[in-house]
Amino acid sequence: MNIIKMKDRQELDAKLPTMPWYIEQFINYKLPDLSPSSLVEYMRDYETFLHWLISEGLTEAANLKAVPLQDLETLKMESIDAYRMFLSTYKPERNNRTTISRKLSSLRSLFHYLSQIAEDDDFYPLLKRNVMAKVSIKRTHKPKDTAAKLEGKLLQEEEITEFLDYIKQGYGIEIAKNKQASYSYELNKIRDACIISFILHSGLRVSELVNLNTDDIDLKKKLCYVYRKGKNDDTFKTPVYFRSEAVEDLNHYLSLRETRYKCPRREKALFLAVANGNNEGSRMTKRAIQAMVIKYAKRFGKPYLSVHKLRHSFATDYYLQNDIYKTQEQLGHASPETTQIYAHLTDKTMAEAIDRRQQEGKLDD
């Protein structure tokens, strides 16, 4: 089974008993259609909301599980506006319109289910009044807007090679006087370069990368087999192409994977780390990979780089050489509309590339 989905299902099962009965009913209703990862996000959103209700005195419940359905029914619009304001200043979500919209959408889904789908024993809706039906949630993912935010924040052309060279050599030179950092770098630089190279030459999501096992890689065909986001079928992996530039880095890492990371026979994970206090390597986590990318990016002088922006860097370059449908398939997007951001990005990228080449005298006037 997908490792991340399995962990999310465990988290979901642990959280459900702490929730009110009507939220547990809603989650069970959604379980056949949504992945555990999506439902865990719902649960976290509901935790935030219920904690807020309690702290604001909008319910007399002493804990989350005790919040009665009637307290949702009597909420006023001014309370929802106050909650929206709370989210805009709440530290983890500060100034993040996308996160705020998602949390409000989660609430709207719950309220819609309770007022339009679920029924009591007398066939009446569980929720007689749905305040969330009045709440408008602005769409935050227009391709053109997303492309504008990404402009200047991706690796382009020779920068991809420069970044990989920096990870393989430049970073080590800069931290040479720091013994602890140097030890960690020498231990992990080949693995780290392989991971970043693989993202830049395949466009995988970090969740897809974390789930990779050694037998998911076909070096001859330059294919990896991944569980795609949003697909609930854990019996089928999707083949995804990676460029030949990643092969050398993969071979280099695989040649030392077992010995350097003290890999136990039972461990199939492709990318390993040895945690403090452990004698054997185990699967790297999403957080560890994200932190690793940020560490190198800051030193490289591009602090805005992240795993997802590496994926965008690949996608922009890939789109220049292919059409929108091939790019959509490579990235695993559910809709070509999501892929349209690269149409906007590549227009700018091509113009900048032509300007650079003219300045270098590589093109005739």
- Annotated active-site residue 9? The verdict is no
Among 205, 237, 309, 312, the active-site one is 205
Q: Is 112 a catalytic residue?
A: no
* Beta-sheet pairing, 223-226 with 217-218: antiparallel
Catalytic residue among 5, 312, 333, 344: 333
Burial 64-98 (b: 16+ CB within 10 A, else e): beebeeebbbebeeeebeebeebbeebeebeeeee
What six digits make up the tokens of 362? Answer: 């590589």
Q: How many CB atoms lie within 10 A of CB 334?
A: 12
List CB contacts of 303: < 8 A, sequence separation 6 or more: 294, 297
Catalytic residue, from 311, 312, 319, 344: name it.
311
> Which one from 7, 102, 142, 229 is the annotated catalytic residue?
229
Q: Which two tokens stand for residue 221?
A: 């065909």
Residue 166 DSSP class: I
Q: Which residue among 166, 309, 342, 344 is the active-site one?
A: 342
Instruction: Please say if 308 is a catalytic residue.
Output: yes
- For the chain, the farthest-separated pair of C-alpha atoms sits apart, in whole angstroms, at 80
Active site residue 268: no
Burial of 122 (0-12, 13-18, 19+ CB in 10 A): exposed
Closest CA to 342 of 354, 357, 330, 360: 330
Which amino acid is residue 318, in one-letter code?
A: Y
Catalytic residue among 260, 308, 326, 356: 308
Confirm whether 94 is a catalytic residue. no
Task: For residue 220, indicate whether it is catalytic.
Answer: no
As annotated, the active-site residues are: 205, 229, 308, 311, 333, 342
